[in-house]
Amino acid sequence: MNPLFAPLSIGSLDLPNRLVMSPMTREHSPGGVPGDDVAAYYRRRAEGGTGLLITEGVAIDHPTAVDSPAVPRMTGDAALAAWRRVVTGVHAAGGRIIPQLWHVGPLWGAMGDVDPNLKPMRPSGVWGRVGRTVYPTDYIERAAAPTAPMTERDIADVIEAYVRSARNAVDVGFDGIAIHAGHGYLLDSFLWEPTNHRTDGWGGDPTRRLAFPVEVVRAIRREIGPRLPIFYRFSQHKQQDYGARIAESPRELERILVPLRDAGVDVFDASARRFDQPAFDGSALTLAGWAKKVTGAASMAVGSVGLSTSLRETGTPEPVSLDGLFRRLDEEEFDLVAVGRLHLADPALAQCIRAGRPLPAFRRDLHETRLH
């Protein structure tokens, strides 16, 4: 049997296969409210046989969570009623769905104009080290201006916002919670030394830099109970610098991930530009592979699955063989695989793979402009 189609249970979540739709920002929810087109978009992937859908990043209940009015929110009567319709449609199609809770943190303002009277949430008031990035120079120059660091009240408010949004998600029927804690966004910015210069209990050394993400996970776990799964996206790379790293060795990665596991994470979503690249020198093991090895928890691989190039590389990606992916799944290097762009090209991607048909071609118009 193809290992991609083996069932898997994680807490209360029973999955028919290991294929996951990866979170992808779509910006098709005016006023933060997903419409019928968004509900149909997710339902089509459930009908297509994908084991689990993880929604696009969803703004938590905080004023500077997300800087686009078309990104959906997990707060407010209209948005929650809309999400209930999304979940109902996915469940009716036999699918499972969890939302990815999101706070952009230091990257506030990257997606559009923002209220200058609102304070960005930055651990130390800095944007981070500029490296290899696709952000335009004019945005970087604006973002480089220091702001006030987060206060103890700010930190408490954000933790409470995560908890409220997790509760809202559970109440509308989602099957678990995903937390976006990678790519330089808020939780990740506490881990990354160039954005966290604090010397209090929330920074100063790697252990204290981990305190805020751990407390967010712990607070959500207390709120939703022991059975619903928590997925946690982490990354080495940042939007500010694709070459950034939070761990230089498996031991350093272990020191980060084990406390998060103990706080309540069930699945580590290891975001990489390419899922199959070795994470550290001296081993062929991937980032998802190391996450599973050092924690004993389940892990999920993501990054250019089935494509020749990552999103930020030049040229048009071409389909490539999935044989290496199947081998890694069969060897239990990781447990789940999240696929983004190919799910945009073909909502029935699971059926396509199961039948052994050629993978769909990447379509930039579907990726950048519209729902399908």
Provide the H-helix boundaries in 118-205: 137-143, 152-171, 186-191
Query: Locate tokens 């976006």: which residue?
Result: 180
Residue 139: active-site member: no
Q: Please return the burial class of 2, using the count of CB atoms within 10 Å of its CB with bins 0-12, 13-18 and 19+.
A: middle
- Phi-psi category of residue 225: left, alpha or beta, with phi > 0 → left and psi -120 to 50 → alpha: left
Q: Please return the burial class of 20, using the count of CB atoms within 10 Å of its CB with bins 0-12, 13-18 and 19+.
A: buried
* Tokens read off for 132: 């290899």
* Tokens read off for 140: 């970087």
CB 338 within 8 A of CB 287: no
As a whole number of angstroms, the longest Cα–Cα distance in the chain is 57
Q: Output phi, psi for 56, to 5 deg.
A: -55, 160
Q: Residue type at 219?
A: A
- From 162, 185, 232, 242, active-site residue: 185
β-sheet bridge partners, residue 347: none
The closest of 86, 110, 97 to 37, measured between CA atoms, is: 86
* Tokens read off for 68: 């686009």
* Tokens read off for 276: 């199959």
Q: Please return the burial class of 127, using the count of CB atoms within 10 Å of its CB with bins 0-12, 13-18 and 19+.
A: buried
* Tokens read off for 102: 């999101």
CB 140 within 8 A of CB 63: no
* Angle in degrees, CA 317, 308, 27, rounded to 5: 50
* 3-class DSSP assignment, residue 13: strand
Residues with active-site annotation:
185
